[in-house]
Amino acid sequence: MRQGGLPPAFFRGIEMDFESLIDEIPNYQRFFKVDELDQRTDELAKKYPKTVEVQIGGYSRQGHPIKVIKIGHGSRNALLFGCPHPNEPIGAMMLDFLAEKLASDERFRSQFDYTWYLIKVIDPDGTKLNEGWFSNPESIRTYAEHFYRPPGYLQVEWTFPVDYKTLHFHNPLPETKVLMNIIDETKPAFMYSLHNAGFGGVYYYISEEASSLYETYQRIPTLFNVPLSLGEPEVPYAKTLSKAVYKLFPISEEYDYLEKHASVDPAKIIKSGASSDEYASRVANTFSLVCEVPYYYDPRIEDTSETDMSRRQARMIAWEKAKEHYEQMKGPFEHCASFEEAKEFAFYETLKNYIETMPAHLEAERHWIETDPTLERKATVAEVFDNLYVTQFYQSLSLGMLRRLMNGVLKIRNDERLSRLKQDVDEAFEKKMNYLYKNLNYRAIPIKDLVAIQLLAGLYTANHLQSQGGS
């Protein structure tokens, strides 16, 4: 007999008090590293051998095993995976907690008619290149100094097959194939790709409209005094469903935006493939969720009061800074890339893609800024903050990767010009940091709170889907 003497069906599809779990989440002071997460997975399977099954879904490009945790025997399947981008470890921490909770608490597990497939780290190689900041996540300097993110065509999230107009991508990464195989075999009713942003507020993407969830999504961050993201959306073509809730978009929408605003073939700019939710939508009736949570918070993120600046003016300031940043990066990278040894470092591909594709992105964005009539209205404080400061924060990350690449090459090659250019890049990085520290009033959001936000969003969504009776 299960705990409390009630059958599993008693708990399913009714409104559950998931918020009581908040107190059970540890007060994390740092992020677990990849090997730690693997070890904790193995220990969980040993502790609960009748409940937890661990499979090797495949291997990374560097040969690291990708462990898939299977828990439960529900009639529908749920696939949740962390670190789809390797600089985004919050989801891995959430899945570590959720796996322990599902394994140890039969009453909790019985609330759901799901078989759970959990992958804490889908990109272990890239995640390891971020571990330098995992012990000090409060510092934007440490984050920028140890940041790594691959280009789109080497991202697990954006390397699913696609054919659209001139865009043809059929080179999924080994890590992507792990997800493809699970999606093909399990046809998940619910899929949760666990992303997070560096700076900003909380926002959501979902694969289809679900109006009964919007208020819940908007309420969850308020439990932790974390704001919603009310500034600029990630992309100009994002469809807003509700406040801080957007519809997931296929790669075709990016293509169409570039086709309209750029003067070159969009396939030469995108270079990557479809996303996980787009692939899942083709092979299963999957509801996909992305809950973006930030590491850092500034009060202006949620200020929707009007400024004297138009949104077009704010976007143009950001555009000018982006163009200036590109010109600052181009020369040092190209000289560094002239050494064959540069190709041995992961940062090389990211920066090469940036240098090659950014001019077309800048062209498309400028055309959009100049022609979109919706940009004529007054910008909010949040939108100005996004354009003037958050964009600068993200530019510090590419400077950080360029520094890491140049340092690596300088350890192999003693080149005087490269040393001088490295000094220039160091100065640019310091200038950017000084600008950010002068203009930001930021605090790091506790890891526990971010884990809780992603956990609650996922559980409420899973419960909603089973209460709707969807497949």
Residue type for position 216: T
Rounded Cα distance between 76 and 83, Å, is: 24
Q: Per-residue pLDDT tens for 408-452?
A: 999 999 999 999 999 999 999 999 999 999 999 999 999 999 999
Q: What is the pLDDT of residue 6?
A: 38
Q: Which of 394, 400, 429, 413 is nearest to 343 (CA)?
A: 413
Q: What is the pLDDT of residue 15?
A: 52
What are the residue ranges spanned by the domains of the chain? 3-298+445-468, 302-441
- Where do the H-state alpha helices sit in 262-390? 266-270, 276-283, 311-337, 346-371, 381-385
Q: Residue 4 pLDDT more than 50? A: no
Q: What is the pLDDT of residue 302?
A: 87
Q: Percentage of residues in the chain with pLDDT exceeding 90?
A: 92
Residues 6+ apart with CB under 8 A from 154: 173, 349, 350
- Residue 393 · residue 199 · CB < 8 Å: yes
- Residue 335 · residue 341 · CB < 8 Å: no
Helix or strand or coil: residue 110? helix
- Residue 388 · residue 307 · CB < 8 Å: no
Q: Per-residue pLDDT tens for 179-231?
A: 999 999 999 999 999 999 888 889 999 999 999 999 999 999 999 999 998 88
pLDDT confidence of 323, banded at 50, 70, 90?
very high
Q: Per-residue pLDDT tens for 14-32?
A: 456 899 999 999 999 999 9
Rounded Cα distance between 448 and 278, Å, is: 30
Q: Which of 143, 130, 150 is nearest to 349 (CA)?
A: 150
Q: What is the pLDDT of residue 274?
A: 98
Rounded Cα distance between 411 and 323, Å, is: 30
- Residue 281 · residue 429 · CB < 8 Å: no
CB atoms < 10 A from the CB of 136, how many? 15
Per the structure block, which two tokens stand in for 118? 């959990």
Q: Per-residue pLDDT tens for 114-130?
A: 999 999 999 999 999 99
Rounded Cα distance between 74 and 446, Å, is: 33
Q: Per-residue pLDDT tens for 234-289?
A: 899 999 999 999 999 999 999 999 999 999 999 999 999 999 999 999 999 899 99
Helix or strand or coil: residue 76? strand
153 CB-contact burial (10 Å; exposed 0-12 / middle 13-18 / buried 19+): middle
Q: What is the pLDDT of residue 179?
A: 98
Rounded Cα distance between 449 and 457, Å, is: 12
Q: Per-residue pLDDT tens for 122-160?
A: 999 999 999 999 999 999 999 999 999 999 999 999 999
Q: Which of 207, 174, 181 is nearest to 193 (CA)?
A: 207
What is the dotted CATH code of the domain comprising 3-298+445-468?
3.40.630.10
Q: Residue 10 pLDDT more than 70? A: no
Mean pLDDT (the chain) is: 94
Q: What is the pLDDT of residue 330?
A: 98
Pick 9 or 416 by higher pLDDT: 416
Q: Residue 394 pLDDT more than 80? A: yes
Q: What is the pLDDT of residue 84?
A: 97
Q: What is the pLDDT of residue 198?
A: 85
- Residue 271 · residue 353 · CB < 8 Å: yes
Sign of CA dihedral 118, 124, 127, 132: positive
Q: Residue 396 pLDDT more than 80? A: yes
Cα distance between the two ends of the chain: 28
Q: What is the pLDDT of residue 197?
A: 87
Q: What is the pLDDT of residue 356?
A: 97
Q: Percentage of residues in the chain with pLDDT exceeding 70?
A: 96
Rounded Cα distance between 254 and 241, Å, is: 18
Residues 6+ apart with CB under 8 A from 316: 369
